[in-house]
Amino acid sequence: MTTQEAIPQIEDNGFAIDEFLAAEAAKDLLRFSTAGSVDDGKSTLIGRLLYDSRNVYEDQVRAVTGKQVSLRPTIDFALLTDGLRAEREQGITIDVAYRYFSTQRRKFIIADTPGHEQYTRNMATGASTADLAIILIDARKGILTQSRRHAYIASLLGTRHLVAAINKMDLVGFSEDVYRKITAELQTLVEQVGSHALLTIPVSALEGDNVVDRSTRMSWYEGPTLLEHLESVPVGTDIATQPFRMPVQRVIRPDQNYRGFAGQISAGTIRKGDLITVLPSGRSSRVASITTFDGDLEEARAPLSIALTLEDELDISRGDLLSEPQRAPQQATSLKALLVWFDNQRLETHRPYLLKHGASMRSARITRVVQRTNVHTLAEEAVSTLGMNDIGVVEIELTLPIFSDAYAENRASGSFILIHPQTNATLAAGMIRSSLSSGSSRPQPRGVLLLDTRGTVISRDVEERLIAAGTQVVRTQIDDAAILHSLLSLGLIVLLERALPVDVLESLASAGIHPIEAETYQPAKGELHGQ
Amino acid sequence: MLAPIHPAYPATPAQRVETLTPAIGLSHLKLLEAESIHIFREVAAEFQKPVMLYSIGKDSAVMLRLAQKAFFPGPIPFPLLHVDTGYKFREMIAFRDSIARELSLDLRVWRNEQALADGANPVALGTQRCCGLLKTTALLDGLRHYGFDAAFGGARRDEEKSRAKERIFSFRDRAGQWDPKNQRPEVWNLYNARISPGESIRVFPLSNWTELDIWHYILLEEIPIVPLYFAKERRMIVRGNSLIPVEQSFLNSLPGEEQWVRSRLRSLGCSPCTGAIRSDADTIPKIIAELVSFRSSERANRVIDHDTDGSMEIKKREGYF
C-alpha cells in the first residue's frame, strides 16, 4: 500500500469528505526520531519520506530546487528539511527539527536530530518523546561510532523500537551480503545496549527504494518498507495499563462548590469511584468526578489532561502526586540516576541545583559521579564530573523527597531535568535508575557512620574531637542493621568500634550509607548532626 | 450568541467523543489536545503574568478553545493581547470583539500609535519595515507595557522551515529576541520556565499541530471562526493570478480590475498584504477538501515570507512571532 491513496483528489467527483474525515479522526500518532551523520543521507531520507507520501507542499519544493549545484536533475531532498540560515551556511543540521506527515493510517511526528558528536544533547532531546528511532547507516561504511551512539542513546531514553535504515544500497550494487553483514553486527550492538526490537531495512533514500515504495532491485528482501513498518508498529498500548499516576499541575477553584485537581495522567487509567492516594501526605480519597470541558467522564487514561474532584476535602497543591494506593511510587530523598549533561558549564558535585520532576521542583545536589559511558566505545569510565554531551550515572541528594518510579518502568515519573538556580540553564536530562533511600513520609536526616576497629581508647579521642566540634555522637559496639539504621536516621554520627558483617554493610549501602574511616573524618562546616 | 458557522459534524458530544476515539489507543487529536492543555496549565502555574497573543485567526481560535478546556470549569486565568496593526479586516475586529464579549475575556489591544500617526503603511515603508513597526515593535512594546513574562503564540512547527526547530518554551532575552543557537534543550514534557527579570518565554502550545489538524479540530469542536475563511462573493482587485481584497488596498485598480469574485482567505493578515484565493469552500469540510487537494503551504499567500530567503528567521530573531 502506498500513501498516494491517502490524498483524495478534489477533481474526482467520487471524493467523499465524510469518509476522509472519519479516517482522519481514527488515526493515531507515532513519534519517531531520526539520527544520522552529515553524510548518511538522513535529511535525504526524511525528504524522500515526505515527498513520496505527498507531504511536501509544492511551494517548498519550488523554494529548494535549483539552489545547489547538482549533477542530477533531481530535487535536493535534504534542503526540504534543513531550515535555518546558519545551517545552510555550514551545510549541516545543528538542532532538533520537527516534521509532520500523515498517511491513511497514522499521523507522524519526526524529531530530526543531528548526528555529529557535539550534539548528543539534541539526539537525547529528540529521543525523549519518541516511540521509535530510525538509525541511518551508510551501506558502504557499515556501523560507525555515530550509529553506535544513536542506538545507545535511543535505548537509554527508552525508545521501544529501533529501525536501522541501511542506506545507499544503490552504491553497493544492492548487495544482500552487505545487508546481512551489517544486520548481524547490529544485532550484536543492540544486545549490548539493551534495546528490545530491531528491524533492519535496506534502502536507497536518494532513489526511493524501500522508503515508501517497495524496491524492485532488492527482491531478496522480504520485510516491510520503512513506511509500512512505521505504519504498523504498535504505539501507546501499555501506558494505560501501568499503575495510575497524575502530577497535580494546578488546583482549579472557580467558586466554593468546585475544587478540581488538574493534571495530565502520566500513567494508568482512573475511574469515577476509584481510591487514590495523595503524595506526599499519604491521605486517600475516592474520585468523585472526572471533569472536562466536554462533560464528565466515567473513565480517563494516560495521557489525557483532566481535572479530578475528590469525595473528601484534602489539602492538595501543585507538585503533589495522585497515585493508586496499591502500587504507589517510591519515595526518595536520594537517587541513583543517569544524566545526559547539556550545558557547557560542567557538573559540580555538592552544588545546589534545581530538579524538576513532574510538577514538582526540588533543591538537589549531586553527591557523586559514579561513572561516565564513553559514547564511542560504550565503555564505562571512572570520572569525577560530567561535561557537555557526557552521559553518566550519578548519585543525587534531595532536600525534600520526590515520588518516582524507575525510568525503565515509567517514562514520566522516572524522568527529571536539572536547572541551574542562577543562570536558569537546563543543565541535564535525568533518568532515575533507583531510589537509594525510602521510608517515612518525612525527609530523613542523614547520619554518618564511622568505623574504628583499633580500640576503645582511640575511639574515645575521636568522639571527644567530634563533640568539641559541636556534633552529636553515639559510640557503640552494636552491629545490628536495624539499630544502626534508626540511629543514623536521627542524623547522628555513629561511631562503631568494630568491623561490620557483610550483610549489614550491604543493608546500609542500599540506603546510601557508606562507612567512613573514623580517624580521617572531619565534619563539614555547617553540617551539624543531630539538630 | 455566536451562531455556529458551519454545519455540525457529529451532532452530539457523545458522538464527537466516539469519533475522536480510534479502535486502539487515543486519536492523534486527543493526544495533541492533552499535550496543549498540559502546556497551558504549566505556564499558568509557573509564570507571574502570562498572556495569550490573540491574532483572531483560526490558530488563535483553537488556542482559545484549548485554554478554556485547560481551566474548565474555571475562567481562563490570564488576559489576551491583540496586536492591532490598524490594517486588519473589519470582519476580524468585529469577530474579535464579539468573542471577547461572549466568553467574558480580558482582552487588551495594543497598537503602535506613533507609527500609525506617522503614516506607516506597507506601500510607503515596504512590507518588511511596516511589519517591523506595526507588528514586531508593537508586540514588544505591548508585552513590556503590561510586564507580561510569558506569551502564548499560535505558531505551528509545520508552517515554515525556521519554525520547525522552535521549542515549545522559546526563550527570549531582555530585548525580546530569539537566538536559534541558544535554545534550551526540551526533553519529555518537562519545561524549564525559569527566567530572570526582563526576560520572557514565548510558548507555543500548538507546536505539534498541523494545518489539517487545526481545521479538523475546528470542525469537531464547532469552534467559531472569522467568516473571511469561507467563500462568498467579495470585491477584489484581480491582477494576474493575484486576488487583492479591495478593503484598505493601497493599489490603485486599473479599469476592469475590480470585480466580484467568489473567494476566501486562507490565512488572515493585514488587508493590504493578504491575498485571497478563488474558492467555493463555504463550509469547513469543503475547506478541508480544498486543503488536501491544494498542497500549497498556507503562508505562501502572505507577502512577507518572500522578501528575502529566510526572511521569517530574521523576523523571529528580532522578536516577531
Task: Tell me which residue of A308, A357, A358, A316 sits closest to A337, measured CA to CA.
Answer: A357
Report the residue from A82, A253, A426 with minimal CB separation from B74: A253
- DSSP summary character for residue B302: B
Task: Tell me which residue of A420, A303, A422, A432 sits closest to B39, measured CA to CA.
Answer: A303
Q: Does B33 touch chain A (CB under 8 A)?
A: yes
Please indicate whether residue A363 or residue B304 has the higher confidence score (pLDDT). Answer: A363
Do residues A463 and A475 touch, judged by C-beta distance below 8 A? Answer: yes
Confidence at B306, pLDDT banded by 50, 70, 90? very low
The Cα–Cα gap between A134 and A113 comes to: 11
Tell me what pLDDT residue A247 has.
97
CA distance A60 to chain B (A): 8
The residue of chain A nearest to residue B24, with distances taken between CA atoms, is: A237
Do residues A45 and B44 touch, judged by C-beta distance below 8 A? Answer: no
Average pLDDT over residues B12-16: 42
Please indicate whether residue A76 or residue A279 has the higher confidence score (pLDDT). Answer: A279
What is the rounded (10 degree) CA torsion for A347, A348, A352, A356? 10
Tell me what pLDDT residue B215 has.
95
Q: Which residues of A touch B16 (CB under 8 A)?
A: 294
Provide ipTM, 2 decimals.
0.85
CA angle (A192, A198, A202) in 5-degree steps: 120
User: Which domains, and CATH codes, for chain B?
Assistant: 13-224+310-318 (3.40.50.620), 227-305 (no CATH)
Q: What percent of chain B has pLDDT over 70?
A: 83
pLDDT at A132 over 90: yes
Residue A361: φ, ψ to 5°:
-125, 130
Q: Does A528 touch chain B (CB under 8 A)?
A: no
Q: Which residues of A touch B206 (CB under 8 A)?
A: none
Average pLDDT over residues A426-439: 86
Task: Tell me which residue of A76, A74, A116, A111 sits closest to A94, measured CA to CA.
Answer: A116
pLDDT at A334 over 70: yes
Q: Which residues of A touch B285 (CB under 8 A)?
A: 17-18, 21
pLDDT at A259 over 50: yes
At position B284, the amino acid (one-letter code) is I
Q: What is the pLDDT of residues A289-327, one digit of tens each?
A: 999 999 999 999 999 999 999 999 999 999 999 999 989
Residue A236 and residue B16: Cβ atoms within 8 Å?
no
Q: Does A27 touch chain B (CB under 8 A)?
A: yes
Q: Which residues of B touch A7 (CB under 8 A)?
A: 292-293, 295
Q: Which residues of A touch B157 (CB under 8 A)?
A: 98, 100
Residue B164 and residue A97: Cβ atoms within 8 Å?
yes
The CATH class of the A239-323 domain is: mainly beta
Confidence at A497, pLDDT banded by 50, 70, 90? confident
The Cα–Cα gap between A95 and A228 comes to: 28
pLDDT at A85 over 50: no
Residue B195 and residue A22: Cβ atoms within 8 Å?
no
Report the residue from B165, B183, B213 with minimal CB separation from A83: B165
Domain ranges (residues) in chain A: 3-232, 239-323, 330-435, 448-520
Report the residue from A10, A99, A359 with minimal CB separation from B293: A10
The Cα–Cα gap between A269 and A237 comes to: 12
Confidence at A435, pLDDT banded by 50, 70, 90? confident
CA distance B283 to chain A (A): 11
CATH 3.40.50.11230 fits domain A448-520: yes
Average pLDDT over residues A435-452: 62
CA distance B153 to chain A (A): 17
The residue of chain A nearest to residue B187, with distances taken between CA atoms, is: A125
Correct CATH for A3-232 of 2.40.50.100, 3.40.50.300, 3.30.160.100, 3.20.20.80: 3.40.50.300
The C-alpha cell of A482 is what?
536495624
Q: What is the pLDDT of residues B198-245, one digit of tens each?
A: 899 999 999 999 999 999 999 999 999 999 999 999 999 998 888 888
CATH superfamily of A330-435: Translation factors (2.40.30.10)
Tell me what pLDDT residue A86 has.
46
Residue B209's contacts (CB-CB under 8 Å, 6 or more residues apart) are B32, B36, B62, B156, B158, B217
Average pLDDT over residues A137-157: 88
Which of A32, A96, A100 has the most B C-beta neighbours within 10 Å, making it the best mutation to test the interface with B? A100
Average pLDDT over residues A206-215: 92
Report the residue from B34, B220, B313 with minimal CB separation from A264: B34
Least trusted range by pLDDT, from A55-59, A213-217, A307-311, A382-386: A55-59
Do domains A3-232 and A448-520 share one topology? The answer is yes
Q: What percent of chain B has pLDDT over 90?
A: 61
CA distance B36 to chain A (A): 9
Confidence at A500, pLDDT banded by 50, 70, 90? confident
